[in-house]
Amino acid sequence: MNNTGRKTAPEATPDGHSGFATLSGNRALMVEEPLIFEQDSPGTSGVDLPEPPTAALRLGAVAPRGRIGLPGLSEPTVVRHYTRLSQKNYAIDTGLYPLGSCTMKHNPRLNEKLARLPGLADIHPLQPVKTVQGALALIDELAGWLKALTGMPAVAMSPGAGAHGEFCGMLTIRAALAARGESRPRVLVPESAHGTNPASAAACGFIVDPIPANSEGRVDVAALLARLGPDVAAIMLTNPNTCGLFERDIITIADAVHQAGAYFYCDGANFNAIVGRVRPADLGIDAMHINLHKTFSTPHGGGGPGAGPVVLSAALAPYLPLPHVVHDGAGLRLVEHRSDTGATGVELGRMKGFHGQMGMFIRALAYILSHGADGLRQVANDAVLNANYLLASLGDVMTGSFPGPCMHEALFDDRFLKDTGITTIDFAKAMIDEGYHPMTMYFPLVVHGALLFEPTETESRQSLDQLITVLRGLVARAQAGDVGFFADAPRLTPRRRLDETAAARKPVLRWVPPVAD
């Protein structure tokens, strides 16, 4: 995100449509779909239930409620509604989705099938432990893989997503410092970090000190070393970093951080680039979350659910949150309280309602078993190869921010658009008309008008070649000065540019019934 004057309201474009106006407003396969509330057929239901008994209620002092205002819809209406909505979405299943740092890779359907086995999908989190030994074994098996792939001795499985994992990891650092009788207030975070890093550190009560990047897109080691001291609790570093580059000096940094008595938190959002090739433990990392919905391909689902297990070094391992799985003579058990047998007694406490994102664990384990150790290494190889192929194939027309090789994502900035009157966002919107989801834009903040492409390993060479051809064509068009073409884009989408300014000035966050005259 840039902080300067990006347009957030569309300009008037009287002739933006392509083709002719239809009577219905529909455009062939693209059908206008009202809200469910606008399709209310009172009394209708898409579910047949037995007539509820009319026996007296036992609600005590609480009155039964009056009308709620939910619409009545039949099953066919509901199916059509959501099918039509789905057709207004871009998805990995429909095309290349090169959102940098989001790792939008293919989501295998085997994983969906297995997550729906009744023995996994239909078990209650508080069933007697002896009736869920297979579930605990599955969590334990996935934990084993995560530990082996990272070289770390422990893993906290319960965090619900990446940011939740960051919060968990930073809390283990607070707990470890407290156990040492220290209260170090500061956390160092590079300027290029994901916004969740400073937000998570601040949520844990730390003061965030930004560390600048150097001219090579990596953390300024001298500035970092100069900031280390007895007031620093930890550094939060993303590696590979958000410029898509491996932090070459990471071992030096880790040594210096440890020397200063601080801990090294690594944002593992970009683990996909190095899985099977580098173990974070060998880099000196103390804690790292793993976004199962990135590296291990659990579906993003329109923004969640995710899962963010955190691997921990021996120094932080005792502080993992409750609950966790332990082995005992008879099998596997859940440690749910600090007083339980097998507890370390210094656990963080609970961070989530139950035991973690089991549905995501099943999918991630299926993905891992499908690849095996050899396949996961190939994942990293191909992810990095695909990104470098983009960098090499576009470097002569777009402006790569830093010399390669890059890791799993390729960063460009907007110098190639200089003096064209066309901005990064205009360029992105033109990509949409060409059938592509845009790359990540205006992030990281360390370059101007960033365009961050992460193709992932599940794109074929043909798919990348098509993207390259389109991007080269768009660059030519931009450099030819066709400002109007870009300013009007997208034209072919279910909706054209939306007025974010109006949405934020007068928020309309729910449907309300129209007022009768």
- Residues in 384-413 that interact with another protein by CB under 8 A: 384-386, 388-389, 391-393, 404-405, 407
Place of tokens 């953390």: 219
CB-based burial of residue 22 (10 Å sphere; 0-12 exposed, 13-18 middle, 19+ buried)? exposed
CA dist 207 → 134, 147, 233, 412 (Å): 43, 30, 10, 31
12 binds another protein (CB under 8 A): yes
Closest approach of Cβ 107 to another protein, in Å? 5
Residue 374 CA to residue 376 CA, distance in Å, equals 6
- Of 196 and 480, which has the nearer Cβ to another protein? 196
- Of 97 and 453, which has the nearer Cβ to another protein? 97
Residue 245 CA to residue 404 CA, distance in Å, equals 8
Site residues (CB under 8 A) for another protein, limited to 274-293: 274, 276-279, 282-283, 293
Per the document, the length of the chain is 517
Q: What are phi and psi of 328, to 5 degrees?
A: -130, -175
- Of 472 and 480, which has the nearer Cβ to another protein? 472
Among 23, 28, 61, 330, which residue interacts with another protein (rule: CB under 8 A)? 61
Site string for another protein, 478-507 (x = CB under 8 A): ------------x--xxxxxxxxxxxxx-x
Closest approach of Cβ 77 to another protein, in Å? 9
Among 29, 330, 508, 516, which residue interacts with another protein (rule: CB under 8 A)? 508
Q: How many Cβ atoms are within 10 Å of 510's Cβ, its own excluded?
A: 6
185 binds another protein (CB under 8 A): no
Among 31, 120, 177, 346, which residue interacts with another protein (rule: CB under 8 A)? 120
CA dist 143 → 37, 117, 187, 331 (Å): 44, 21, 28, 16
- Of 33 and 414, which has the nearer Cβ to another protein? 33
| 3-state secondary structure string across 234-262 | EEEEECCCCCCCCCCCHHHHHHHHHHCCC
246 binds another protein (CB under 8 A): yes
Site residues (CB under 8 A) for another protein, limited to 22-51: 33, 35-37, 42-47, 49-51
CA dist 19 → 123, 327, 434 (Å): 53, 66, 17
Which tokens in the block code for residue 65? Answer: 């409620």
- Of 118 and 329, which has the nearer Cβ to another protein? 118
CA dist 470 → 241, 281, 293, 393, 430 (Å): 27, 41, 28, 12, 10
Residue 234 CA to residue 476 CA, distance in Å, equals 46
Angle at 225 between CA 273 and CA 267, to 5 degrees: 30
161 binds another protein (CB under 8 A): yes
Query: Segment contacting another protein (CB under 8 A): 75-83, 227-235, 310-318, 478-486?
Result: 75-83
353 binds another protein (CB under 8 A): yes
Site residues (CB under 8 A) for another protein, limited to 213-242: none
Site residues (CB under 8 A) for another protein, limited to 354-373: 354-360, 362, 365-366, 369-373
Closest approach of Cβ 194 to another protein, in Å? 8
Among 27, 81, 415, 472, which residue interacts with another protein (rule: CB under 8 A)? 81
Site residues (CB under 8 A) for another protein, limited to 136-155: 137-138, 141, 145, 148-149
Site string for another protein, 309-338 (x = CB under 8 A): ------------xx-------------xx-
510 binds another protein (CB under 8 A): yes
458 binds another protein (CB under 8 A): yes
Angle at 70 between CA 68 and CA 74, to 5 degrees: 145
Residue 298's identity, in one-letter code, is: T
Residue 385 CA to residue 364 CA, distance in Å, equals 23
Closest approach of Cβ 443 to another protein, in Å? 8
Which tokens in the block code for residue 88? Answer: 């207004």
- Of 340 and 482, which has the nearer Cβ to another protein? 340
- Of 154 and 379, which has the nearer Cβ to another protein? 379
Residue 317 CA to residue 152 CA, distance in Å, equals 9
Pairing of strands 324-328, 331-335: antiparallel
- Of 460 and 480, which has the nearer Cβ to another protein? 460
134 binds another protein (CB under 8 A): yes
Q: What are phi and psi of 453, to 5 degrees?
A: -105, 125
92 binds another protein (CB under 8 A): yes
User: What DSSP character marks residue 418?
Assistant: T
Site residues (CB under 8 A) for another protein, limited to 423-442: 428-429, 432, 437-438
- Of 437 and 477, which has the nearer Cβ to another protein? 437
421 binds another protein (CB under 8 A): no
- Of 375 and 481, which has the nearer Cβ to another protein? 375
Beta strands in 313-442 (DSSP E): 324-328, 331-335, 399-400, 410-413, 440-441
User: In the beta sheet, which residues pair with residue 382?
Assistant: none
